[in-house]
Amino acid sequence: MAHAHQLQILRGLVKFKSVTQKIWGVLILLSIITTVEVVLGIYKPESLMMKFVGMKVLNWIFIILTLAKAYYITWDFMHMRDEKANLRRMVIWTTVFLICYLLFILLQEGGYIESVYSSSYIRRDF
Amino acid sequence: MDTTVVTGKEGKVWGGGESPLNVSYGKMMMWFFIVSDALTFSGFLAAYGFSRFKFIGSWPIADEVFTHVPFLHGQEHPMIYVAFMTFVLIMSSVTMVLAVDAGHHLNKAKVTLYMLLTIFGGLIFVGSQAWEWATFIKGDHGAVQTKGGNILQFGEYQTIDGKEVFKRLAIKDFAATIPHERVQLDRKSGVWFMSEGSIPSYTIEEVTKGLEAHPNVLVRTEQLNEHGHKTVLSREESINQLKNNGKIVVEGANLHVNEYGTSLFANFFFFITGFHGFHVFSGVVINIIIFFNVILGTYEKRKSYEMVEKVGLYWHFVDLVWVFVFTFFYLV
């Protein structure tokens, strides 16, 4: 296990002295993100309810924060930061591409069926 | 013969005899497994998204469904318990990385301690999920399903802090009692292949009579209005809707019907959190096996704790999936 551990997160903004310290640092970061999510989820501020590209701003915030959390779990807890670039691309690019493809197709189709329900002669209100 | 075997020692990474990705076979295969499992989970979550987009105007509001916290009966605290579960899982991920790190330093005592803490975290999480399921299956308000498969819920307007708000009422709060002799059909009392699930505590007639007797009770439909709230019918509409379309009384949730909304909602809840819970459970079992191996000194003798690293990857993956399940089931 002669991996060199990289000890900085947030593009070098925060640097840690040891691996253990970095783990606690990442835990604090993840806890802050989760707390923000929970607080927003409980209070649901009215100002974040307007739509942006087909979805509420609040939901966009949730999804972006989730992706940020996923990044830190993979990069620091699963040590992706210390792996070779080839392994990282093999795993990440494949997954991200396939998930985006699947999401696009299924959500598009779901939206279409909704439009059929709401604009065609199909009654569902009984 | 000039077909000599070249061992790749001429300085080429991909020439053989080396591990070009600088990881062992086992670790790389764990990564590949994680990729395929991630795609399985994203398939489920994408299917959830599909159904949700399909019923975008009537999907249940998670904040109204998951409001319970153990030991706090009758109070509504959306998000609190599931936030606790998330912290538990993240915390157990942290102890897992600490175990992996201690393994790099060949520190057996610390690996043992951190593995044990990880297992405890996993058990608390699985237990919480079981509790969450039990509460979800039991339900606490009850509802009526219509002929068209829609759900009608009940409630009344109350004035709290000078504001008029709609408060849910449980069926048992207002339903009348009509003596009747409806017996649950068991396999032992009819034909051997015929039976039915448990009968709801109230019949549709009792609910209708109770609604007519209580002038404050109103029906709430699944449809979301322009403010994102469920539509509350007027008194007259409420009685008409229940009389004309009401079909069966629903209490709690099962795979056919649930009191929260479209049946797909409960199906996806059971399937996705169940599949995730199964992953957590198997993760705990694997962790326990590795824990005993650590105690027995298996990795001490090997001078390598890489096995801890591999189960660590799996354990973090389970945490990673939960982050997404949390967002798409409870937040969005």
SS (H, E, C) B199-257: CCCCCHHHHHHHHHHCCCCEEEEEEECCCCCEEECCHHHHHHHHHHHEEEEECCECCCC
Residues of B in contact with A46 (CB under 8 A): none
Q: What mean pLDDT is predicted for residues B81-96?
A: 94
Q: How far apart are CA B96 and CA B94, in angstroms?
A: 5
Q: How confident is the model at residue A2 (pLDDT cuts 50, 70, 90)?
A: very low
Q: What is the pLDDT of residues B200-247, one digit of tens each?
A: 888 898 999 999 999 999 999 998 888 888 999 999 999 999 999 999
* Average pLDDT along chain A: 88
Helix (H) or strand (E) holding B157, with range, is: strand B151-160
Whether residues B101 and A91 touch (CB distance < 8 A) is answered with no
Q: Find out if CATH 1.20.120.80 is the number for domain B24-139+264-331.
A: yes
Whether residues B320 and A70 touch (CB distance < 8 A) is answered with yes
Percent of chain B having pLDDT more than 70?
97
Whether residues A124 and B57 touch (CB distance < 8 A) is answered with no
Q: How confident is the model at residue A55 (pLDDT cuts 50, 70, 90)?
A: confident
Report DSSP state, residue B70: T
pLDDT of B64 over the 90 cut: no
Q: How far apart are CA B65 and CA B132, in angstroms?
A: 11
- pLDDT at B5 (0 to 100): 58
Give ipTM to 2 decimals.
0.91
- pLDDT at A48 (0 to 100): 83
pLDDT of A1 over the 60 cut: no
Nearest CB neighbour to A41, from listed B28, B79, B96: B79
pLDDT of B78 over the 50 cut: yes
Q: How confident is the model at residue B187 (pLDDT cuts 50, 70, 90)?
A: confident
Q: What mean pLDDT is predicted for residues A50-75?
A: 91
- pLDDT at B188 (0 to 100): 85
pTM value is: 0.89
For residue B321, give how far its alpha carbon lies from the nearest alpha carbon of chain A (Å). Answer: 9
Q: What mean pLDDT is predicted for residues B70-79?
A: 83
For residue A91, give how far its alpha carbon lies from the nearest alpha carbon of chain B (Å). Answer: 6
A99, closest residue in chain B (CA to CA): B42
Q: What mean pLDDT is predicted for residues B148-168?
A: 89
Nearest CB neighbour to B53, from listed A87, A95, A114: A114
- pLDDT at A3 (0 to 100): 53
- pLDDT at A19 (0 to 100): 86
Nearest CB neighbour to A87, from listed B23, B80, B146: B23
Q: What mean pLDDT is predicted for residues B2-19?
A: 65
For residue A8, give how far its alpha carbon lies from the nearest alpha carbon of chain B (Å). Answer: 16
Q: CB of B156 within 8 A of CB of B218? A: yes
Using a CB–CB cutoff of 8 Å, tell me whether A59 touches chain B. yes
- pLDDT at A126 (0 to 100): 80
- pLDDT at B192 (0 to 100): 86
Whether residues B39 and A113 touch (CB distance < 8 A) is answered with no
Q: What are the sequence ranges of the domains in chain B?
A: 24-139+264-331, 143-193+200-250
Whether residues B324 and A30 touch (CB distance < 8 A) is answered with no
- pLDDT at B191 (0 to 100): 86
Residues of B in contact with A40 (CB under 8 A): 331
- pLDDT at B8 (0 to 100): 47
Whether residues A3 and B22 touch (CB distance < 8 A) is answered with yes
* Average pLDDT along chain B: 90
Half-sphere exposure of B14 (CA within 13 A, CB side): 1
